[in-house]
Chain A
Amino acid sequence: MPALRELQSAFLRAMFGPDEPELLTAIAGDGLLPEARLQIYRHHVMTSLTDALQATFPVVCRLVDERFFRYAADAYIRHYPPAAPCLFEYGAHFPAFLAAFPPCRHLEYLTDVARLEWAMNTAWHAEVCAPLDPAELGSLAPHDVAQLTFQFDPSVTLLDSPWPIDQIWRVHQSAEEVYDPVDLNAGGVSLEIRRWEDDIGFRRLAPAIYAFRTTLATGHPLAMAAEAALAVSQEFDCVAALHELLTDGVVIGFTL
C-alpha cells in the first residue's frame, strides 16, 4: 500500500498524464474498471479549470469558438497548472501562452484581447482604495512639484495594442453572430482599465496622456512623465494633464 504522499503524487501525475499501473492497483473497481473511476476525476479536474479560464476570458473564447478555446485551455493547464486555490487569480500567463501557441499564433490581436480581459479581472478583485484628495498637495512648494511621484489605484492597468481591442471586446459581448465586424486596420489603442465606482471599465487615452500616465504608474517623477508625454506630442498640456490625474480618482497617494 502506497504512503499518502506517494499516492497523491501518483494521482496528480494521472490527472495530467496516462494511467499508472501502481495507482490503478490501489483503486477498488467495485463493478467498474479502476481506469473508469480515475477518469471521472481527471475529467472533472480538467473541465473545472477550463471553466475557470473561460470565466476570466469570455471574449477570447467567443473569438476562437468554444471548442478551440477548450483545446487551448487544456494545453495551458498542463503547462501552467494552478499553484493556489483562488481561481480568479488563475490565468496570468494565458495571454502570453496564446501568443506562442502555434494553432492561433496568426491571430495577432488575440493575445492583446486576453491581456485586456486579464486587466479587467485584476481590476474587479483589486483592493478598494480611497482616491487622493488633491487638497493634500496644496502645501507643496512649486519647486517640489517636479519630483512628485504618485501611487496609482491598484485596479488600474495601462495597456496599448496595435489593434482596436476595445472595439473587438465590445462587439463580442454576447455569443450572438457579429454583423458589424471590426476593421482590424482601424489602428491601435492606448487603454486605461480600472474600477469606476462599482463597475469595471476602460477608456482610450490620447497617446501623450498614455505616455504621461504610464511613466508615472511605473514610479517615475512628474518631470520625467511630462518629458515622455512631450516627446509624443508637442501639444501636451502638463497642467491640464496633472489636473485630470488628480481629479479622476486614478491616484491614491503621492511621495516627495
Chain B
Amino acid sequence: MVYMRTSAKLGVGIGLRAPHVAEVQTTRPAIGWLEVHAENYMGEGAPLAALERLRANYPLSVHGVGLSLGSAEALDNRHLSRLQRLITRLEPVLVSEHLSWSIAGSIYLNHLLPLPYTEETLVVVAQHVMYTQEVLQCRLLIENPSSYLRFTHSAIPEPEFLGELVQRTGCGLLCDVNNIYVSCYNLGGDPVAYLDALPARAVGEIHLAGHAVNDADGQAILIDDHGAPVSDAVWALYDHALARFGPVSTLIEWDTNIPALPVLCAEAHTAERFMQRTEEAGYAGVA
C-alpha cells in the first residue's frame, strides 16, 4: 500500500466553505492549508474548477462526511469511486473520514450517527477502513465524532476503540478536540483523560470548532454546530493536546453562522500562537 505523508507539519488551516472560495482566491490569506468536504466537490463543474486553482497556492486536505464507515451494510462503491477520482485529481496531503455511520438500507441520513462500541462494530469499521485505504491507496485519518447519546451495550471506551482501530488497520487519527469536549460534557467523561488515552503517534490532524449550548428538558446539552468561536475550555484542551501530540496540523472549522473570512483567519492565528508556544516550550516530538 502506498501511504501518503501524514506527518507533514502544515501549521494551522481553515475549513474552506463556499462563501469564502472567491475571497481566498483573490486575497490569498496567510493560512497554512485548506480542508474541504469531499461531497461538495464530487460534481465536475465550477466548485471543482475553483478548487483546482486554489491547489496551486495551498496544501489541500479532503475530509469525507458521507462514506459511512460504520454502516453494517457494505460501503457504497459508487461513492467510494467518486472519492477516489477526487483524490486522484486533487492529490491532497491529508484524507480523513469519521467514526460514525449515516447510511442504512441505502438511505443517507446526512448526519454522523453514533455507533455502539463493541467487538462487532470494531470488525465492521476495521474492514471498511482497510477496504477504503486499499481503494484510495492512502492512509485514512479517522475522526472521533461528537455524541449526544451512547448505547447501553457499548463496552469499549471511545479512545480505546480508536486505538484498536489504528492497530488493526494502520489508519491514523483526526483528533477533534471540540468533539471530545462536547461528547464528554454530554455523556459524562473527562476530556483530558480521553486525550491521554489516544495513541499519540497516530494523531495526524486536529480539528477545532465552536459549539452551542442548548437546553434539553432543563439540562444543558452541547451541540457541535461549528457556529461560534472556539470556546475557552476547548482552547485549554487544545493546549493539552499539543503538549501530548506535538504541533500536529490543525484546522479551524466554521459551518453555521459563517463569519467574514478575516474572523476565521484570526481564529487560525490564535491556534498558531498556541502551537508556537508548544514548540518554544521544547516539545520533543513523537518519533
Contacts and interface: CB of A to CB of B under 8 A. Distances in A.
Interface of A: 1-5, 7-9, 11-12, 15, 25-28, 30-34, 36-41, 44-45, 48-49, 52, 81-89, 123-128, 154-155, 195, 198, 200
A1 B151 CA distance: 9
Interface string B1-41: 00000000000000000000000000000000000000110
B68 to A, nearest CB: 8
- Give the interface residue-count category, chain B: 35 or more
Contacts of B217: 32-33, 36
Given A8-B101, A84-B76, A128 B49 contact: yes
Given A12-B107, A36-B217, A4 B72 contact: yes
Contact of B73 (A5, A33, A52, A81): A5
Interface of B: 39-40, 42-47, 49, 65-68, 71-73, 76, 78-79, 82, 101-111, 113-116, 118, 120-121, 124, 148-154, 186-188, 216-217, 219, 221, 223
B110 A125 contact: no
Contacts of A26: 116, 151-153
Contacts of A86: 39-40, 42-43, 66, 79, 82
Given A34-B149, A198-B46, A4 B120 contact: yes
Contacts, number: 149
Contacts of A44: 111
B108 A12 contact: no
Contact of B79 (A38, A48, A85): A85
Contacts of B39: 85-87
B65 A85 contact: yes
A49 B149 contact: no
Contacts of B121: 4
Contacts of A40: 148-149, 216, 221, 223
Contact of A85 (B110, B152, B186, B216): B110
B108 A155 contact: no
Given A28-B151, A49-B110, A3 B72 contact: yes
B74 to A, nearest CB: 11
B2 to A, nearest CB: 25
A7 B45 contact: no
Contact of B44 (A48, A83, A87, A127): A127
B151 A27 contact: yes
A93 to B, nearest CB: 15
